[in-house]
C-alpha cells in the first residue's frame, strides 16, 4: 500500500543502517542516507501532493552525484580526509543559487550534474590501476558494479530530459509517473550497487606514502619488477590474503601502483588482479589434490566468494572446481597456469 518511492526509501534506510553498524564507512552511509531522503521527498511531493517541498527536489537531487563520486573515491581510489571533499558541495550550492535566482535553468543544471559525475566515474573505472584499493580477488566485479552506478547516474540525466520533454509537449500527466518511477529505480540501483561488498575496499586504513619518481619504463625494468613480485609472493604468500589490494602490494614493493600495474600488464599480458588470482588458483588446485574440499581450498587460497572463485578457476584451468576434484590428476593444469600467468 506504500507509494513506490516510500518503499525505496525503506530499503535504502536499511542499507544505510547496515553500513553504519557493520562497515564503518561514513561516506557510504551519507550517500545512502541522501538517496533515502530524496526518495522521501519524492514520496511527499508526488505521492501525498505536498507542493511546498517541490522546490527542494532539485537541490537535494544534486547532492546524490557528488556523494556517489566521494563514496567511489573513498572505496576504491584513495582514503582521503573529509576536508578534501569540501569542494564537492559546489553542485548543490550552485543548484540552490539557480533555484532562487534563475529557476528556468534548473531543467538544464540537474541533468548536467548527474551526467558529469556519471561520466567521471565511467572514465575512471576503465583503468584498473585507477582503483588501487579494490580487492584483487574480486577481479573485474568492482569495476562492473561502479560502471553500473555510473550508468545509473547517466540514466537519471536522460530521465530528467524525458520529464522536460513531457512538460514542453503538454503531456503533464506523464510527469508524475516519470519522476516517481525513474527516481525510484535509479536511487534503488545506486543504493544496491554501492552497498555491495565487492564494490568496497577492505575497511582497514592504508598508509598513503609519497614515493620518489621512477625513471622511464623499460622492458628490462618491467621484468625486474615482476621478478621481485614473484619473489615476494613466494616468500610471504601475500596472495592468500583475501583483502589484498593493488596499493598494498605496490607499497610492499616500494613502487607506485600504476608502475606495478604497467609492469605486470606488459610482462605477463594480464592485469594485476588476474595475475594474483592465478597464484591463488594454483594454490587451490594443490589444496584440492591434497584432499581438501572445494570450499576449504577456496577459503585457504584468498577468495571470499564462490562466484569469484568459480569464475577464476574456470578461466585458469578450463575446468570447474568440482571437475578438478573428481579427476585429482597429478599431471594437472597447475604447470600450465604457472607458465601462462
pLDDT in tens, 24-53: 678 888 988 998 898 899 889 887 889 899
CA–CA dist 116, 148 (Å, integer): 15
Instruction: Give kind and range of the element (H or E) at residue 113.
Output: helix 106-125
Q: Give the mean model confidence (pLDDT) for residues 136-158.
A: 84
pLDDT confidence of residue 120? 93
What the block records as the C-alpha cell of 173 is 500527466
CB of 303 within 8 A of CB of 139? no
Residue 23 in this model has a pLDDT that exceeds 90: no
Mean pLDDT of the chain: 82
Sign of the CA dihedral with 132 first, then 136, 138, and 144 last:
positive
Q: Give the mean model confidence (pLDDT) for residues 161-172.
A: 72
Q: Give the mean model confidence (pLDDT) for residues 268-285.
A: 91
| 3-state secondary structure at position 216 | coil
Residue 305: CB atoms within 10 Å: 16
Residue 139 in this model has a pLDDT that exceeds 70: yes
Residue written as grid cell 561514513: 26
| 3-state secondary structure at position 25 | coil
CB of 59 within 8 A of CB of 96? yes
pLDDT confidence of residue 199? 66
| 3-state secondary structure at position 135 | strand
**Could you tell me which residues come within 8 angstroms of residue 42 by beta carbon, excluding any fewer than 6 positions away?**
5, 57, 179, 180, 183, 184
79, exposed or middle or buried, with CB in 10 Å at 0-12, 13-18, 19+?
A: middle
Residue 339 in this model has a pLDDT that exceeds 60: no
pLDDT confidence of residue 177? 63
pTM of the model: 0.78
- Taking only the tens place, the pLDDT of each residue in 181-228 is 666 667 777 777 666 666 666 655 444 444 445 555 578 888 999 999
**DSSP per residue, 241-271:** -TT-BHHHHHHHTTS-HHHHHHHHHHHHSS-
pLDDT tier, 233 (very low <50, low <70, confident <90, very high otherwise): very high
**What percentage of the chain carries pLDDT values higher than 90?**
31
- Taking only the tens place, the pLDDT of each residue in 45-80 is 887 889 899 899 999 999 999 999 998 888 888 776
pLDDT confidence of residue 194? 65
- Taking only the tens place, the pLDDT of each residue in 71-107 is 888 888 877 655 567 788 999 999 999 999 999 999 8
Amino acid at each position: 500500500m506504500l507509494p513506490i518511492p516510500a518503499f525505496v526509501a525503506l530499503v535504502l534506510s536499511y542499507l544505510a543502517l547496515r553500513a553504519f553498524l557493520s562497515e564503518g564507512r561514513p561516506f557510504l552511509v551519507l550517500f545512502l542516507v541522501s538517496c533515502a531522503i530524496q526518495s522521501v521527498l519524492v514520496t511527499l511531493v508526488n505521492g501525498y501532493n505536498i507542493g511546498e517541498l517541490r522546490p527542494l527536489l532539485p537541490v537535494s537531487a544534486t547532492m546524490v552525484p557528488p556523494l556517489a563520486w566521494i563514496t567511489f573515491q573513498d572505496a576504491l581510489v584513495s582514503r582521503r580526509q573529509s576536508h578534501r571533499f569540501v569542494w564537492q558541495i559546489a553542485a548543490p550550492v550552485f543548484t540552490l543559487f539557480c533555484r532562487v535566482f534563475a529557476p528556468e535553468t534548473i531543467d538544464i543544471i540537474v541533468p548536467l550534474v548527474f551526467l558529469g559525475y556519471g561520466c567521471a566515474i565511467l572514465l575512471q573505472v576503465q583503468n584498473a590501476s585507477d582503483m588501487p584499493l579494490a580487492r584483487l580477488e574480486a577481479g573485474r566485479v568492482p569495476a562492473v558494479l561502479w560502471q553500473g552506478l555510473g550508468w545509473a547516474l547517466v540514466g537519471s540525466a536522460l530521465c530528467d530530459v524525458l520529464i522536460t520533454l513531457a512538460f514542453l509537449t503538454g503531456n503533464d500527466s506523464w510527469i508524475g509517473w516519470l519522476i516517481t518511477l525513474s527516481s525510484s529505480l535509479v536511487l534503488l540501483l545506486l543504493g544496491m550497487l554501492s552497498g555491495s561488498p565487492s564494490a568496497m575496499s577492505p575497511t582497514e586504513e592504508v598508509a598513503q606514502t609519497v614515493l620518489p619518481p621512477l625513471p622511464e619504463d623499460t622492458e628490462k625494468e618491467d621484468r625486474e619488477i615482476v621478478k621481485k613480485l614473484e619473489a615476494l609472493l613466494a616468500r610471504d604468500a601475500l596472495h592468500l590474503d583475501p583483502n589484498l589490494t593493488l596499493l598494498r602490494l605496490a607499497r610492499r614493493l616500494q613502487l607506485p601502483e600504476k608502475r606495478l600495474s604497467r609492469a605486470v600488464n606488459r610482462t605477463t599480458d594480464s592485469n594485476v588482479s588476474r595475475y594474483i588470482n592465478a597464484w591463488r588458483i594454483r594454490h587451490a588446485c594443490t589444496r584440492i589434490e591434497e584432499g581438501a574440499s572445494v570450499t576449504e581450498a577456496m577459503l585457504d587460497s584468498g577468495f571470499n566468494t564462490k562466484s569469484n572463485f568459480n569464475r577464476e578457476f574456470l578461466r585458469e584451468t578450463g575446468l570447474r572446481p568440482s571437475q578438478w576434484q573428481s579427476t585429482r590428476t597429478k599431471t594437472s593444469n597447475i604447470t600450465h597456469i604457472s607458465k601462462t600467468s
